[in-house]
Amino acid sequence: MNARIKTENHDRQETKYTTCYMCACRCGIKVTLEDNKVRFIQGNRNHPTNQGVLCAKGSAGIMKQYSTAKLTQPLMRKPGTERGEGVYEAISWDQALDILTNRLEEIRATDPAKLAYFTGRDQMQALTGLWAQQFGTPNWAAHGGFCSVNMAAAGLYTIGFSFWEFGAPDWDYAKYFIMWGVAEDHSSNPIKIGLEKLKRRGGKFVSVNPVRTGYSAIADEWLPIKPGMDGLLAMSMVHVLLKHELFDYEFLVKYTNASWLVVQTPGEKGDGLFLRDEKNHPLIWDIEKEMFKNGEDGDIAPALFGEYVAPDGRRVKTVFSMMAERYLDAQYAPENVALQVGLPAESIERIALEMAHVAFKEAVELPIAWTDVWGRKHDKVVGRPVAFYAMRGIAAHSNGFHGCRAVHFIQMMLGALDGPGNFRARAPYPKPIPPHQLPENNLDIINAPNTPLSRPPLGFPTRPEDLVIDEFGNPVRIDKAYSWEVPIASHGMMHMVITNACNHDPYAIDTLMLFMANMAWNSTMNTKNVQDMLRMKDPEEPGEYKIPFLVVIDAFHSEMTNFADLILPDTTYLERYDTISLLDRPISEPDAAADAIRHPLVTLDRDVRPWQEVMVELASRLKFPAFTKPDGTRKFTGYKDFIVNFERSPGIGFLAGYRGVDGTKSLKGEPNPNQWEAYIANQSFFAHHWPDNQKYVRYANKDYLEVAADAGFVGKVEPIIMQFYSEPLQKFRLAGMGLYDGPQPNNQVDRERLVKYFDPLPMWYQPLEQQRTDANEYPFFALTQRPMFMYHSWDSQNVWLRQIMAQNYLYMNAGKARSMGIEDFDWVWVESHNGKIRCQVKTMEGTQEDTVWTWNAIGKQKGAWGLKENASEATKGFLLNHLISELLPEKNGERRVTNSDPVTGQAAWFDLRVKIYKAAPGETGSWPQFDVLKPFPGDERYERPNVLRYDARTHEKN
C-alpha cells in the first residue's frame, strides 16, 4: 500500500537467538545478522526474563562487538620491562598455555594455596569454583564480597532466598512496593516491566534512596534517607508494626522460628542458643498440650510469647518475646530515629501502617489447592500483596548485614514471602537456612599437593568450627574470608586480595589469576595505592614482585590488563558457547525454573579464546580428577563436551533442560549428546513452568519440595523455617565472649567484634569507618551508582553509550551547594581520610542534603578501553574509589582491619565520608591523573575515525 517506502531486503539475513551479556540480567535476545555483521538486536518475546523488551545496554551490544578495545591475541609482558609500563609481546596460545600450565603444575604440586583465582562480574561461578576446588586452592571467589554479599547472606541466613537472582517481586499481584537502596538499573528489564504493571494497576511505589534518579523518579513517594541508616528505618518500622499489633500471627507460627525458645542464662555457656531436645530439635511451648515440643513438627500449637522454665531449670523465652522487648523499646520509635535517618517520623509510621493495611486488608486469595510439607491440604493461597526489592544501597555498608536482615523482618511479620503479590523465590531457591554447604576447612586437604578440595572453597558457616583458620586461629585464605575477622564471608573478599598478597598477610602467594575484574581501577577501593601495590617489588626476593605472577583474563583493554604478566584474551558474548546454569546464578523467574546458553553468532576475527574453553583445557592439562579418565587421558574434548557430560550428581548437570538420551527430561536426566542443539532449537533457553500448586509457599510446599529435592535444589523434603533469631550468629558471639565449647578467638580485636556485631537479632550501629572519622571534619556521605544505560555493563567504551555519558559529575543537593557557594560546573576538591580528588559539581534537588554522589566507572585511565587520550572519561571523569580505603583507619594498638561488614566481609563502599571545597581558580580537570596506557600489539588493526558511520548493510546500499 505504500509503494514508495523501501523496506529491507532480508535475503542475506539470518536471525538467531542467544543470551545477552551486556549486564548481569541475562535477557533473551534475537539477533539479526547480515554477512556476519550484526544488523539488529532485539528482546526475545518468549524469554522468561525480558519478555521481548530490551534495555539500552542490550541494544548497544552491536558497539561492544565492534569495540576497538577488544584484545586480539595472548600477550606477555616484555622481558626487561617493568610491570605497569604496559609493554607487551604477542605470544601464541600454545606458548601461553605452556607457560601457565607449567607454573600452575608447580604450585599445585607444592602448595596449592599459592594460587589465588578471583573472578569479577562473570556468572559462571559453578565452573570457576569447580576449577578452583579441583586445583585444590582455597583462594577462590567471585566478586560477591565487594558487591552485595550482605544482601545475599542476610536472605540466606533469614528467609532461605534473597534479593537479586534468588527472588523477585510478584508484579502481577503486588499492590504496594518498596524499593530499598536499589541503584538505577538493578535487574534491568524485569524491574522496569514490573513497575509499569504495578502502576497500571494503581499500586503504590515507595523508594527509599538518598538519590532520586532512575526508578526512584517514578516512585509515588520518595524517602531520601541518609546513607547507612536503612537498618534503623526498618527496625523502626518493626517497632510500629509491633506497637500496633500488626503482624501475621499464623505465618509467624507456621513458617518462622518466632515461637522457638531461647535459653536465657546470661554469662553462661549456652546462653542465647535454642532450647533443644536430645535429638537436637529446637523446642517450642505447646499451649494446647502444655508441654515442650519439637518446633519443626507440624502437629504443634506453639506459644508465640512467653517465658518458660526448661526441665533442667533454665529460663527460656520465645524469639518473638525477645523481639518485642527489643524493638518496642523507645529507641526505635519513629520520633526517636527520625533525625538520624533523615526522614519525618510521620512518614516512617505511615509507611509501616500502609504496608500493614495492604497486607492484611487487601490480601489476595487465589483458589489454588496445595499441600504443605506437613501433609495438610489447603484449598487456597493467601497473598499479602506487599513486595520489596532491596540491593546495594543497604548492603554496601559495614552495618548492612543487620540492615538487610531487618528488611526481611518486615516481610516475615507481614507474612509477605513467596505468596501472591509479595516477594517470591526463584529456583533453585528457597534453600535450607543457611544452605547446607560449608567451605572447605580441612587443613590436611587444603595443604595436600595435587589434591582437590573435598568441598567448594565457599559456603555458609553455622558455627565457629566451620571457620577456615589454622591451628593458631589465623586465616587460611588470602582474603581472610571465614577468619575471626569476617566469619561469614560467604562470597569471599576480593577487595582484600591484592592488599593482603602484597603485605604477605597471612602469607605470600605465587600467582594471582583475575578474570573479568578491573581490580586496578573501578572495581577496587583505593585505586591509586592498589596500582602501586601491583608494581611493588619484594625486597626479600630480588627481582620479584610482591605478587610474583599476575594473569589477567579479559576481552578488553582494561586498566587491569596493563598490569598483567600474562594476558589471555577472551571473546565477546556473541562469539562463544556459554551456559547460564541453575548450579550458578540462575535466571529463573518465580513461575519457572530457567536456564540458558550462548552460542557463537559471529565468526571470530582474532586470536582469542573463550575463557570457559581455556579453563577446561587447563583442567585437562593439569589432570584434575573431574576432568581426567582413570587412564590419565582427558575426559572432555572441550567446553561443549564438558557441559553435556559433566554430572555433579547422577542426572544433574550444568544445563537442566533437554536432558535424557532423547532430550525429553527436565531438571534431571542422563546426559543428552544433542543438548546444545536442543537449546539452540529452543531459542537458547529452557524453562520449567511450575504448576499452580508448586508456585507459592515453597519453603513449606510438599509438592514443590519433592521436585526440588529430586532436582538437587534442596537435600531433602523438609520445612524451611525462616529464622528471625539467628543461632549461628549467637554461637560466634559466645565464642567472642569466651563462652563457647569449641574454637574461640585469641585476639582482643576479634573478640570485641564478635561480641558487638554478632547479635542474633538485627541491630543498628554506626558504620565502622564512621566510628573512626570525624563527622565534623567530613560532613558528607559519599556514594556511587551506575547509570541505567551502563549498569553492570563493565565498560563505557561503547561508542553509543558514551554519547549519553562520557563524563561524571559530583552531584550535590542544590540548596546545600548554594549555602556553600558552590555552583554547577565548579571544580571542587573532595577529601576523605584516605586521600583527595578533584572533580566537577552539578547540583540537583533529588539528592539528600548530607549526601554527595557520582556515577561509578565513568572515569577511565588515558589510553584504556580503546579510547583516545583526550577522551572525556580520562580528562574530566573521575573515580570516587581513590577516597575509599580497603582498611579501616588505624587505631592505636590494633592490627589493620578490613573496611567491610564484620559479619560477612561485604566491602563497605558506602560508609565513606568526605569534605568538599572549591578548587582554586585555574585548577581544572580531574585529579589524580595517571600515565597513558600504551597500545597493545594488535591494536594497529583498529581504526578510530573522527566520524564513525556504522551500517551493517553498507554492501546492500552500495
Partner 1 sequence: MRLGLVIDLDVCVGCHACAIACKQWNASGTIGPLSDYEPYGAEPSGVWFNRIRHYEMDEYPHNKTVNFPMSCNHCEDADCVTVCPTGASYKRAEDGIVLVDQDKCMGCNYCSWACPYGARELDRSSGTMKKCTLCVDRIYDETLAIEDRQPSCVLTCPAHARWFGDFDDPDSQVSRITRERGGFGLMPELGYNPTNQYLPPRRKPVIEVNTQPKGGLKESIKQFANKLVRR
Footprint on residues 67-96 left by partner 1 (CB under 8 A): 68
Told to check if 954 binds partner 1 by CB under 8 A, we report yes
Is the Cβ of residue 213 or residue 898 nearer to partner 1 in the bound state? 213
> For the range 195-199, what are the long-range contacts, defined as Cβ-Cβ under 8 Å and sequence gap of 24 or more?
195/171, 197/171, 197/172, 198/171, 198/174
What is the closest distance, in whole angstroms, from the C-beta atom of residue 932 to partner 1 in the complex? 14
The CA-based dihedral angle spanning residues 824, 825, 831, 834, taken in that order and rounded to the nearest 10 degrees: 130
What is the closest distance, in whole angstroms, from the C-beta atom of residue 788 to partner 1 in the complex? 4
Closest CA to 684 of 170, 143, 31: 31
Residue 81 grid cell: 620491562
What is the closest distance, in whole angstroms, from the C-beta atom of residue 236 to partner 1 in the complex? 13
Told to check if 824 binds partner 1 by CB under 8 A, we report no
What is the closest distance, in whole angstroms, from the C-beta atom of residue 897 to partner 1 in the complex? 36
Total of residues contacting partner 1 (CB under 8 A) = 119
Told to check if 528 binds partner 1 by CB under 8 A, we report no
Told to check if 823 binds partner 1 by CB under 8 A, we report no
623: how many CB neighbours lie within 10 A of its CB? 17
What is the closest distance, in whole angstroms, from the C-beta atom of residue 685 to partner 1 in the complex? 18
Closest CA to 481 of 118, 740, 757, 197: 118
Please tell me the number of Cα atoms within 13 Å of 948 on its side-chain side: 13
What is the closest distance, in whole angstroms, from the C-beta atom of residue 37 to partner 1 in the complex? 8
Please tell me the number of Cα atoms within 13 Å of 895 on its side-chain side: 12
Bridge partners, 149 (sequence order): none
Told to check if 597 binds partner 1 by CB under 8 A, we report no
Is the Cβ of residue 249 or residue 825 nearer to partner 1 in the bound state? 249
Is the Cβ of residue 35 or residue 894 nearer to partner 1 in the bound state? 35
Q: How far apart are CA 337 and CA 225, in angstroms?
A: 11
Cβ pair 901, 398 in contact under 8 A:
yes
Q: How far apart are CA 437 and CA 426, in angstroms?
A: 19
Residues 129-158 that bind partner 1 (CB under 8 A): none
Is the Cβ of residue 186 or residue 276 nearer to partner 1 in the bound state? 186
Is the Cβ of residue 255 or residue 704 nearer to partner 1 in the bound state? 255
What is the closest distance, in whole angstroms, from the C-beta atom of residue 375 to partner 1 in the complex? 12
> For the range 636-643, what are the long-range contacts, defined as Cβ-Cβ under 8 Å and sequence gap of 24 or more?
638/613, 639/577, 639/610, 639/612, 639/613, 639/615, 640/577, 640/676, 642/616, 643/577, 643/579, 643/675, 643/676
Is the Cβ of residue 184 or residue 479 nearer to partner 1 in the bound state? 184
**Cα separations in angstroms, 574 against 18, 22, 151, 686, 792:** 8, 10, 31, 19, 17
The CA-based dihedral angle spanning residues 194, 198, 204, 210, taken in that order and rounded to the nearest 10 degrees: 20
Using the rule CB under 8 A, give the single segment among 268-276, 405-413, 707-715, 948-956 that binds partner 1. 948-956
For the chain, report the end-to-end CA distance as a whole number of angstroms.
Answer: 27
What is the closest distance, in whole angstroms, from the C-beta atom of residue 732 to partner 1 in the complex? 28
Residues 199-228 that bind partner 1 (CB under 8 A): 199-200, 202-204, 212-218, 220-222, 224
Helical pair 400-414 and 345-361, crossing angle rounded to 10 deg? 40
Q: How far apart are CA 408 and CA 209, in angstroms?
A: 18
Residues 362-401 that bind partner 1 (CB under 8 A): 374
Is the Cβ of residue 672 or residue 848 nearer to partner 1 in the bound state? 848
**Cα separations in angstroms, 554 against 75, 379, 600:** 12, 53, 18
Using the rule CB under 8 A, give the single segment among 164-172, 446-454, 492-500, 943-951 that binds partner 1. 943-951
Residue 766 grid cell: 554506626
Site string for partner 1, 636-675 (x = CB under 8 A): ----------------------------------------
Told to check if 717 binds partner 1 by CB under 8 A, we report no
Using the rule CB under 8 A, give the single segment among 243-251, 262-270, 677-685, 911-919 that binds partner 1. 243-251
Q: Which residue in 159, 566, 788, 907 binds partner 1 (CB under 8 A)?
A: 788
Label each residue of 264-279 as H, E or C.
CCCCCCCCCCECECCC
Is the Cβ of residue 779 or residue 815 nearer to partner 1 in the bound state? 815
**DSSP code at position 256:** B
Q: Which residue in 76, 87, 90, 253 binds partner 1 (CB under 8 A)?
A: 253
Told to check if 841 binds partner 1 by CB under 8 A, we report no
Is the Cβ of residue 6 or residue 279 nearer to partner 1 in the bound state? 6
What is the closest distance, in whole angstroms, from the C-beta atom of residue 440 to partner 1 in the complex? 37
Told to check if 681 binds partner 1 by CB under 8 A, we report no
Helical pair 345-361 and 230-243, crossing angle rounded to 10 deg? 60
What is the closest distance, in whole angstroms, from the C-beta atom of residue 789 to partner 1 in the complex? 5
Residues 791-810 that bind partner 1 (CB under 8 A): 799-804, 806
Cβ pair 532, 546 in contact under 8 A:
no
Is the Cβ of residue 308 or residue 927 nearer to partner 1 in the bound state? 308
Is the Cβ of residue 533 or residue 857 nearer to partner 1 in the bound state? 857
What is the closest distance, in whole angstroms, from the C-beta atom of residue 535 to partner 1 in the complex? 28
Is the Cβ of residue 130 or residue 195 nearer to partner 1 in the bound state? 195
Using the rule CB under 8 A, give the single segment among 1-9, 97-105, 108-116, 617-625 that binds partner 1. 1-9
What is the closest distance, in whole angstroms, from the C-beta atom of residue 323 to partner 1 in the complex? 10
Cβ pair 139, 133 in contact under 8 A:
no
Told to check if 518 binds partner 1 by CB under 8 A, we report no
| Residue in the structure block whose three cell numbers are 578452583 | 132
Told to check if 944 binds partner 1 by CB under 8 A, we report yes
Beta-strand relationship, 204-208 and 221-223: parallel
**DSSP code at position 387:** E
What is the closest distance, in whole angstroms, from the C-beta atom of residue 721 to partner 1 in the complex? 10
Is the Cβ of residue 118 or residue 853 nearer to partner 1 in the bound state? 853
Residues 401-430 that bind partner 1 (CB under 8 A): none
Helix (H, G, I), strand (E, B) or coil at 696: coil
What is the closest distance, in whole angstroms, from the C-beta atom of residue 793 to partner 1 in the complex? 12
Using the rule CB under 8 A, give the single segment among 197-205, 512-520, 643-651, 687-695 that binds partner 1. 197-205
Residue 58 grid cell: 542490550
Assign residue 187 a region: left if phi > 0, alpha if psi is -120 to 50, beta otherwise? left
Q: Which residue in 209, 579, 875, 926 binds partner 1 (CB under 8 A)?
A: 875
Which H helix or E strand runs over 593?
strand 592-598
Closest CA to 678 of 650, 644, 653, 708: 644
Q: Which residue in 298, 715, 779, 928 binds partner 1 (CB under 8 A)?
A: 298
Is the Cβ of residue 127 or residue 867 nearer to partner 1 in the bound state? 867
**DSSP code at position 940:** G
Told to check if 18 binds partner 1 by CB under 8 A, we report no
Told to check if 840 binds partner 1 by CB under 8 A, we report no
Is the Cβ of residue 198 or residue 729 nearer to partner 1 in the bound state? 198
Residues 305-344 that bind partner 1 (CB under 8 A): 305-306, 321, 324-325, 328-330, 333
Q: How far apart are CA 124 and CA 577, in angstroms?
A: 12
Residue 443 grid cell: 587443613
Residues 852-871 that bind partner 1 (CB under 8 A): 866-868, 870-871
Residues 42-71 that bind partner 1 (CB under 8 A): 42-43, 45, 50, 52-60, 62, 68
| Residue in the structure block whose three cell numbers are 544501597 | 393
Residue 749 grid cell: 580485636
Is the Cβ of residue 358 or residue 560 nearer to partner 1 in the bound state? 358
Which H helix or E strand runs over 615?
helix 611-621
